[in-house]
Structure 1
Amino acid sequence: MWKPCLALAAALLLLTPVKASACATCACGDPTLTSMGTEQPFAGRLRLASTMRAWGITSGASQDSAISLRELRMDVSAAYVPLPWLTLAVTVPLQTRTVREVSLARERGWGIGDVEVSARATFFRDRNFAPNHLFSLIAGAELPTARTLKDTQGRPLSLDAQLGSGSVDPFAGVAYTGFQDAWSFLVSATGYLPTRGREDFRGGASLRGTLAAQYQPKARWALRLAADTRLEGNSDTLGVAETEGSGFIGFLSPDVLFSPTTDMVIQAGVRVPVLNRLNGYVRQTPILQAALVYDL
Structure 2
Amino acid sequence: MRTPALALLSAALLLLPASTAWACASCACGDPTLTSMGGEQPFEGRLRLSTMLRAWGHTEGRTGVDAQRLRELRMDVAVAYAPRPWLVLAVNLPLQAREVQDVSLGMERGWGLGDLDVSAKAFVWKDKEFSPDQLVSVVGGVKLPTGPRLHARDGTTLGIDAQPGSGSVDPMAGLAWQGFRGKWSFLASALGFLPSRGRDDYRLGASLRTQVAAQYQPSPTWAVRLGVDSRAERAPDTNGTPEEAGGGFIAYASPDVLFSPGMDVVVQAGVRIPFVNQLRRVSSTPIAVLSLAYDL
Common fold: TM-score over 0.5: yes
Superposed displacement of residue 92, structure 1: 0.7
1:7-18 → structure 2 map (5 Å cutoff): none
- Which deviates more from structure 2 when the two are superposed, residues 21-30 or residues 262-271? 21-30
Specify the SS of the correspondent of 2:262. coil
Aligned to 1:163: 164
Aligned to 1:233: 234
Q: Is residue 151 of structure 1 aligned with residue 152 of structure 2?
A: yes
Q: Is residue 134 of structure 1 aligned with residue 121 of structure 2?
A: no
Superposed displacement of residue 208, structure 1: 0.2
Specify the SS of the correspondent of 1:25. helix
Specify the SS of the correspondent of 2:291. strand
Aligned to 1:209: 210
Specify the SS of the correspondent of 1:157. coil
Give the letter aligned to residue 123 of structure 1.
V
Aligned to 1:290: 290
- Indicate if the aligned counterparts of 1:61 and 1:244 stay in contact, CA closer than 8 A: no
Query: What TM-score, normalized by structure 1, do the two folds share?
Result: 0.91
Specify the SS of the correspondent of 1:104. coil
In 1, Cα distance between equivalents of 2:117 and 2:204: 16
Distance 1:63 1:211, change over 3 A: farther
Superposed displacement of residue 22, structure 1: 2.8
Aligned to 1:66: 67
Unpaired runs of 5+ in structure 1? 1-20
In 2, Cα distance between equivalents of 1:278 and 1:123: 35
In 1, Cα distance between equivalents of 2:135 and 2:142: 23
Identity of aligned residues (%): 58
- Indicate if the aligned counterparts of 1:188 and 1:209 stay in contact, CA closer than 8 A: yes
1:1-40 → structure 2 map (5 Å cutoff): 22-40=23-41
Deviations, residues 150-189 of structure 1 (Å, cap 9, x unaligned): 1122111111111111010000000000000000000000
Specify the SS of the correspondent of 1:259. strand
Rg larger in 1 or in 2? 1
Which 4+ residue blocks in structure 1 deviate beyond 4 angstroms? none
Aligned to 1:5: none
Deviations, residues 76-133 of structure 1 (Å, cap 9, x unaligned): 0000000011000000101110000100000001100011100000000111110000
Specify the SS of the correspondent of 2:36. coil
- Indicate if the aligned counterparts of 1:251 and 1:274 stay in contact, CA closer than 8 A: yes
Q: Is residue 85 of structure 1 aligned with residue 74 of structure 2?
A: no
In 2, Cα distance between equivalents of 1:22 and 1:292: 18
Give the letter aligned to residue 293 of structure 1.
A
1:98-117 → structure 2 map (5 Å cutoff): 98-117=99-118
In 2, Cα distance between equivalents of 1:55 and 1:64: 23
In 2, Cα distance between equivalents of 1:203 and 1:76: 23
Aligned to 1:175: 176
Give the letter aligned to residue 200 of structure 1.
D
Unpaired runs of 5+ in structure 2? 1-21
In 2, Cα distance between equivalents of 1:62 and 1:233: 23
In 2, Cα distance between equivalents of 1:106 and 1:241: 25
Superposed displacement of residue 60, structure 1: 2.2
In 1, Cα distance between equivalents of 2:123 and 2:50: 21
Give the letter aligned to residue 23 of structure 1.
C
- Which deviates more from structure 2 when the two are superposed, residues 63-72 or residues 185-194? 63-72
- Indicate if the aligned counterparts of 2:63 and 2:103 stay in contact, CA closer than 8 A: no
In 2, Cα distance between equivalents of 1:61 and 1:103: 13
- Which deviates more from structure 2 when the two are superposed, residues 21-30 or residues 261-270? 21-30
In 1, Cα distance between equivalents of 2:63 and 2:199: 24
- Indicate if the aligned counterparts of 1:212 and 1:224 stay in contact, CA closer than 8 A: yes
Query: What TM-score, normalized by structure 2, do the two folds share?
Result: 0.91
Give the letter aligned to residue 283 of structure 1.
S
In 2, Cα distance between equivalents of 1:140 and 1:108: 29
Aligned to 1:57: 58
